[in-house]
Amino acid sequence: MKVSVVVFPGSNCDSDCFNVMKDVMKCDTQFVWHKDHDLKKPDLVILPGGFSYGDYLRCGAIARFSPVMREVVQFANNGGTVIGICNGFQILLEAGLLPGAMLANRSLKFICKHVWLRTENTKSKFTNRLKPAQVLNIPIAHGEGNYTADPDTIKRLRDENRIVFRYSSESGEIADKFNPNGAVENIAGILNEKGNVLGMMPHPERASEDILGSHDGRGIWESLLESAGK
Amino acid sequence: MKTFNAKVNVTLKKSVLDPQGQTVLEALHSLGYKGTENLRVGKYFEVTLNAQDENSAKTQLKEMCEKLLVNTVIEQYEVHLS
């Protein structure tokens, strides 16, 4: 699988993503600078976490107009596989590749800790190697991960099985007390309509090696390798 | 071309929870302003632009707001031109 990790000014998880894809998952991996127009023919594009453009105006609002985003949108619209993690998710929302928007965490605090996620959809190309309702231990690190959308959009996401991950307890219980940021329905990750674009606030690239305390994020990369068939 | 000055106010939509506004409201209550009922935090932009006429300036400002300055999923805006 050939992977392109997009680097925006202010990205800070780009090297983590690169390391996991290249050294842990043994994929042909390359960085793509945000001013480039060539995605280098990838099977997977990763929009990494960080603080692109210093989070000025709104998280992801400026990065969404970076030159490379024209190619990312085209790639996604042609069915290419894209994962946006944390700030990458925020950029996908601002770019309109995923519905909804992010508000400040309800606590108004930046939250950096391991959380539990329940897998809600194991049919997607991002989760086909996970078990139904499998609970993953993956860290979050964000100030604005309080996902919101209008009730019709939420209903559609639910009906179309596009809510992929929800914040849960270790045993998989979904309740408000396990919701770190106030996101509607404990939403931690969603798919686009065609199922080729995933946005998630938690960082699977920070949980793909035992030395980092969890390898639960690997399930996502293994699923992607499986669906890419290489 | 004429020069126009615009003031753009952006606030979260009424239907959207404003955690920051809520916290500021609680701070006002704790300062003794018990009568304070509601508070929303927003953004304010001052834009100076050159345009053929007022209509063109308004059109440009609307575009700027909807493309970049405002996320219309969660925010609403008002433009005041002078």
Instruction: Report pLDDT digits (tens) over A20-68.
Output: 999 999 999 999 999 999 999 999 999 999 999 999 999 999 999 999 9
| CA dist A36 → A66, A70, A109, B66 (Å) | 9, 10, 34, 26
- pLDDT of B69 > 90? The answer is yes
Residue A15 burial (10 A CB sphere; 0-12, 13-18, 19+): middle
Please tell me the distance in Å from A143's CA to the nearest CA on chain B. Answer: 12
User: Is B68 touching A (CB cutoff 8 A)?
Assistant: yes
Find the residue in A nearest to B16 (Cα). A148
Within 8 A by CB and 6+ apart from A204, the residues are A85, A138, A216, A217, A218, A220, A221
ipTM of the complex: 0.84
A37 is annotated as an active-site residue: no
Residue reference for tokens 């798919």: A191
- Report the residue from A100, A105, A182 with minimal CB separation from B73: A100
CB contact under 8 A, B68 and A108: no
User: What pLDDT, on a 0 to 100 scale, did the predictor assign at position B17?
Assistant: 87
User: Out of A86, A120, A142, A144, which one is annotated catalytic?
Assistant: A86
Domains of chain A: 2-228 (3.40.50.880)
User: Is A149 touching B (CB cutoff 8 A)?
Assistant: yes
User: What pLDDT, on a 0 to 100 scale, did the predictor assign at position B67?
Assistant: 95
Please tell me the distance in Å from B73's CA to the nearest CA on chain A. Answer: 6
Please tell me the distance in Å from B2's CA to the nearest CA on chain A. Answer: 27
CATH architecture for residues B2-81: 2-Layer Sandwich (3.30)
- Report the residue from A61, A104, A106 with minimal CB separation from B68: A61
User: What pLDDT, on a 0 to 100 scale, did the predictor assign at position A229?
Assistant: 86
CA distance between the termini of chain A:
5
Phi, psi of A208 (to 5 degrees): -125, 10
C-beta neighbour count of A91 within 10 angstroms: 30
User: Is A109 touching B (CB cutoff 8 A)?
Assistant: no
- pLDDT of B70 > 90? The answer is yes
Residue reference for tokens 């300055």: B69
pLDDT classification of A211: cutoffs 50, 70, 90? very high
A203 is annotated as an active-site residue: yes
Closest CA to A4 of A86, A92, A81, A96: A81
Percent of chain B scoring above 90 in pLDDT: 94
CB contact under 8 A, A146 and B20: no
User: Is A100 touching B (CB cutoff 8 A)?
Assistant: yes
Please answer whether residues A94 and A60 qualify as being in contact, where contact means their C-beta atoms are separated by less than 8 angstroms: yes
A205 is annotated as an active-site residue: yes
User: Is A212 touching B (CB cutoff 8 A)?
Assistant: no
Compute the distance between CA of residue A81 and CA of residue B53 in angstroms, rounded to an integer.
Answer: 45
Compute the distance between CA of residue B16 and CA of residue A194 in angstroms, rounded to an integer.
Answer: 28
User: Is B71 touching A (CB cutoff 8 A)?
Assistant: yes
Please answer whether residues A9 and A21 qualify as being in contact, where contact means their C-beta atoms are separated by less than 8 angstroms: no
Compute the distance between CA of residue A144 and CA of residue A105 in angstroms, rounded to an integer.
Answer: 5
Domain residues of chain B, as ranges? 2-81
C-beta neighbour count of B12 within 10 angstroms: 21
User: What pLDDT, on a 0 to 100 scale, did the predictor assign at position B35?
Assistant: 96
pLDDT classification of A230: cutoffs 50, 70, 90? low
Q: What share of chain A is helix, strand, coil (3-state, %, to 5)?
A: 30, 25, 45
Residue reference for tokens 């939420």: A154
pLDDT digits (tens, 9 = 90+) for A150-201: 999 999 999 999 999 999 999 999 999 999 999 999 999 999 999 999 999 9
CB contact under 8 A, A57 and B69: yes
Compute the distance between CA of residue A110 and CA of residue A131 in angstroms, rounded to an integer.
Answer: 31
The radius of gyration computed from the CA coordinates of chain B, to the nearest angstrom, equals: 16
pLDDT digits (tens, 9 = 90+) for A92-132: 999 999 999 999 999 999 999 999 999 999 999 999 999 99
pLDDT digits (tens, 9 = 90+) for B2-30: 999 999 999 999 989 898 899 999 999 99
Compute the distance between CA of residue A51 and CA of residue A60 in angstroms, rounded to an integer.
Answer: 8
Residue A171 burial (10 A CB sphere; 0-12, 13-18, 19+): exposed
A163: left (phi over 0), alpha (psi -120 to 50) or beta: beta
Compute the distance between CA of residue A92 and CA of residue A85 in angstroms, rounded to an integer.
Answer: 9
At B59, the amino acid letter reads: T
